[in-house]
Amino acid sequence: MSKINGIEVGNVVKEALDKARLSGISNWNEIKDIAKLIADSMLNDLKFIAKKKATGGFDAFDAKIFLEDQKMVARTRLRSVAIITLQTAERVLNAITDVFKGAANTALGWDLF
């Protein structure tokens, strides 16, 4: 399992995908692969931020800006799937982000989302 600063975050991808699937997406089977890619990327982003925090390379402001940029990339990835409307992309992204918010804030000690 994955740990960030001693906090177990290994289930965060599964929890994020479960929440996204239950957010009222009628065509979940068609977008679950891209949602998994986004959730995996968010976990990697949190690990990157943790390393940058440990070395003094990021403060909370830097981390927030970095995550906002990554959310834009995730939104674009979701929208690249032809069947996804902007509203659907936002529901999926918000569901995934909600789960990562708790994990990130606990593991890093910053209110990032």
- What is the per-residue pLDDT across 9-68, written as a single tens digit (0 to 9) for each? 778 888 899 999 998 778 888 888 999 999 999 999 988 999 999 999 999 999 999 999
Q: Locate the domains of the chain by residue range.
A: 2-108
What's residue 52's pLDDT?
Answer: 95
What is the structure's pLDDT at 55?
95
The single-letter DSSP state of residue 112 is -
Binned at pLDDT 50, 70 and 90, residue 106 comes out as confident
pTM flag (> 0.75): yes
- The residues that bridge with 4 in the sheet, in sequence order, are 7
Higher pLDDT pick, 55 / 86: 55
Residue type, 48: F
* Closest-CA residue to 43 (of 2, 83, 72, 87): 2
Per-residue pLDDT, averaged over 61-77, amounts to 92
Whether residue 6 is predicted with pLDDT greater than 60 in this model: the reply is: yes
CA pseudo-torsion sign 53, 58, 62, 67: negative
The pLDDT assigned to 88 comes to 83
pLDDT at 82: 64
Kindly indicate the confidence band of residue 112, based on its pLDDT and cuts at 50, 70 and 90: confident
Cα gap 24→61, rounded to integer Å? 33
